[in-house]
Amino acid sequence: MGLISSRTGAAAALGVSVLALAFGAFALLAALRDDEDPSAGRLVQTRLTASDAAPVLFELDGFYASTGSDGKLRALYVYPPGYFGHGRGCRVEWRPFEPPPAEGEQPGLFIDPCGGARFDRSGALVGGPAERGLDEFRTEPGIEGVIVDTSVLYCGADASAPMARATPTAAVDREECELAGAAR
């Protein structure tokens, strides 16, 4: 009977050791990733395609993958533009049951909980105190979905421009924004 107990104890100790080693390796990799220069960015394979599905949050990379009314998949930065985003650490939240900003569009809006601004699925400003739409990262087709390049952030469409919401331009057609102190 003592032999069975010793084997069971050894197996349990080995199992705990393996779990501790795996957890330690995961924590080390996460710490190394967090210490990277946030302006360096990286390429993220999303495995998403343009669809009418709800936006998907990529928490570690700091963006929502969202398909706008134009059918394009965009990588919208989680921080709202201006002081309220980075300065106060506020992140936009996807609210799927908010009424659509225009007739014929799907319900749901991005809401800035600190400043009160509201943005549609394309990241265009539909109301509130923000000076522009949501900033975004460049996307390009990949083998299995869309690849997001988080090394450069492009400013959202200027809210004062005529027809800014109706005709969103590609992120690369806008000026670059700074990732100013955002914890990504």
- Domain range for 168: 43-177
Cα–Cα distance measured from residue 174 to residue 156, given in angstroms and rounded to the nearest whole number: 8
Cα–Cα distance measured from residue 74 to residue 138, given in angstroms and rounded to the nearest whole number: 8
Q: State both tokens at 180.
A: 């100013």
69 pLDDT more than 50: yes
Residue 61 covered by a domain: yes
Question: Higher model confidence: residue 153 or residue 45?
Answer: 153
Residue 183 covered by a domain: no
Question: Higher model confidence: residue 13 or residue 140?
Answer: 140
Cα–Cα distance measured from residue 7 to residue 11, given in angstroms and rounded to the nearest whole number: 6
| Residue 81 and residue 10 in one domain | no
Cα angle value 155/79/28 (rounded, 5°): 115
The mean pLDDT of 157-178, rounded to a whole number, is 62
Residue 184 covered by a domain: no
Question: Higher model confidence: residue 2 or residue 78?
Answer: 78
User: Do residues 94 and 55 lie in contact, with contact meaning Cβ atoms separated by under 8 Å?
Assistant: yes
Number of domains comprising the chain: 2
Query: What is the structure's pLDDT at 118?
Result: 94
Query: What is the structure's pLDDT at 145?
Result: 81
162 pLDDT more than 60: no
| Residue 119 and residue 151 in one domain | yes
